[in-house]
Amino acid sequence: MTKSASTPRPARRGKQRTVAPNDAPKEVDDWLGRNLSRAANTVLNRFQEVFSEYDMRPALYSALVAIENNPGASGAQISSWMDVPRTNVVILLRELEERGLISRGRSDEDRRAQSIDLTQKGRRLMPKLRTAHKRLEAEFAASMSSSERQLLNRTLRRIWQAGPSSAE
């Protein structure tokens, strides 16, 4: 069984910040890695809340988008498009198949490869997921100017694209 077949994770309790806001600047305030990790985690938490009714994780959602954007692609092609190691994509694909959102046939030309597509159930789900995702993005975009948001995404891409490709 997959874990995600269980009850959706309860949204984080929205605890109030009780810490006094007069915190002095800390040595760690400008650590890039720390700020990135914590920001990523904040977005992850909101993702789980926004998508709670769909029992959807970010990696699962991006796999669905990859499949929708590459109809009939093989797992290796999905892996390459997502830039995620094949070995980790396998788990996502199995889970999506178990949930009836994708189908995996055998390719005619290359009998090693699969031919992956959204099922009708999957195709029907996508617009709802996209709506939820747009809501999530808009929520964070609300606290930035448009140019600031674009610069942020460009800067972040420059950071991670400088590293080695994650696709195996």
Partner DNA sequence: TATTGTTATACTCTATAACTATA
Partner DNA sequence: TATAGTTATAGAGTATAACAATA
Query: Which of the listed partners (DNA, a second copy, none) does 128 bind, with a CB threshold of 5 to 8 Å by partner kind?
Result: none
H-run or E-run covering 75: helix 75-82
Indicate whether 26 belongs to the interface with DNA (CB under 7 A). no
Q: Could you say which residues in the range 78-107 bind DNA, by CB under 7 A?
A: 79, 84-88, 90-91, 93-94, 104, 107
Say which amino acid occupies 140: F
Q: Which of 43, 46, 58, 149 binds DNA (CB under 7 A)?
A: 58
Indicate whether 2 belongs to the interface with a second copy (CB under 8 A). no
Residues 167 and 82 sit within 8 Å (Cβ to Cβ)? yes
Tokens of 114: 């699969």
| β-pairing verdict for 102-106 and 114-118 | antiparallel
Q: Could you say which residues in the range 38-67 bind a second copy, by CB under 8 A?
A: 38-47, 58, 62, 65-66
Indicate whether 74 belongs to the interface with DNA (CB under 7 A). yes
The DSSP symbol for 73 reads B
Indicate whether 153 belongs to the interface with a second copy (CB under 8 A). yes
Residues 104 and 118 sit within 8 Å (Cβ to Cβ)? no
**3-class DSSP assignment, residue 106:** strand
Indicate whether 114 belongs to the interface with a second copy (CB under 8 A). no
Tokens of 125: 């789900």
In degrees, rounded to 5, the angle at the alpha carbon of residue 140 between the alpha carbons of residues 131 and 156 is 105
Tokens of 147: 């140019």
- Which residues of the chain form contacts with a second copy (CB under 8 A)? 12-19, 26-47, 58, 62, 65-66, 69, 80-83, 133, 136-137, 140-141, 143-144, 148, 151-153, 155-160, 162-167
- Which residues of the chain form contacts with DNA (CB under 7 A)? 3-4, 6, 9, 12-13, 37-38, 41, 44-45, 48, 57-60, 74-77, 79, 84-88, 90-91, 93-94, 104, 107, 110-114, 166, 168
